[in-house]
Structure 1
């Protein structure tokens, strides 16, 4: 098994299906990233807020209500939960920066996979 295969802990098609295009950027949502990293969305967002200077607007932005509703309609899923706040969307650079604020092994390995996929797309 190669080093790249060892780092592929989540099937690539699952990761690709969690990348959306919003505002002309390929992004991933905070809730999807939290699930992939094995942490609660609340905990992921706490780390982001503690490290806000690492996430300028071209790395991460909050969805508007209309963007959120449009995305839910496109995906047609009922698993969005009862969120009180609108989701955050992370560009490739924002996803990369998450590896600096999340310090668990699963997050690091998944992050490597995601960055490779973003680079190919």
Structure 2
């Protein structure tokens, strides 16, 4: 049996995905953390389905599921017949009322603590994120300015090339004696 010490924030964070602009955990990962089968987890949820509206839990579309498998580059996800369910933070909190084992309670506490730490980190580093965004905007603006400079340089070079070609062209027509 896995102990609480193996349930590190890093392990939990590795099972959090950003899908539909929400941080979610998949039923199969939660089942692994709770040490139950995915089907038993989903049966418990199905028995209390009214507790899980769409903003608490949703089924991944085939495209989302394929994209997630591709992003993780793993084949171990294999064998499932349908896309997994994704639980939002509110859905995870609701799971604590559905699953009553000591393990489920301990896991839910750890998951809620991890989500809280993530939120605190985001708030703490909000200024840093804002500065990075400002730099990104500045770099984009500089990139556009540099593109304009290169466009002008290309135009100047084309003009110089045309001028050189014009000077070096062979004259045609009649030559007067005094031109020789």
2:31 aligns with: 34
Instruction: Structure 2: state its 5+ residue gaps.
Output: 119-180
Instruction: Structure 1: state its 5+ residue gaps.
Output: 1-5
1:88 aligns with 2:85: yes
1:3 aligns with: none
Query: Does 1 or 2 have the higher relative contact order (CA < 8 Å, sep 6+)?
Result: 1
Query: Please, what is the CA RMSD of the aligned residues?
Result: 1.4
Q: Which has the larger radius of gyration?
A: 2
Match of 1:70 among 29, 50, 67: 67
TM-superposition CA deviations, 1:19-69 (whole Å, max 9, x none)? 000000000000000000010000000011110100011100000000000
Q: Please give the residue correspondences for 1:1-121 in structure 2 after superposition, counting only pairs within 5 Å.
A: 10-121=7-118
TM-score by length of 2: 0.62
TM-score by length of 1: 0.90
Aligned residues: 116
1:9–1:109 contact (8 Å) kept in structure 2 = no
Q: Distance in 1 between matches of 2:112 and 2:12?
A: 10
Q: Give 1:120 deviation, angstroms.
A: 2.4
1:8–1:109 contact (8 Å) kept in structure 2 = no
Deviating above 2 A after TM superposition, structure 1's stretches of 4 or more consecutive aligned residues are: 6-9
Higher normalized helix content (fraction of residues): 2
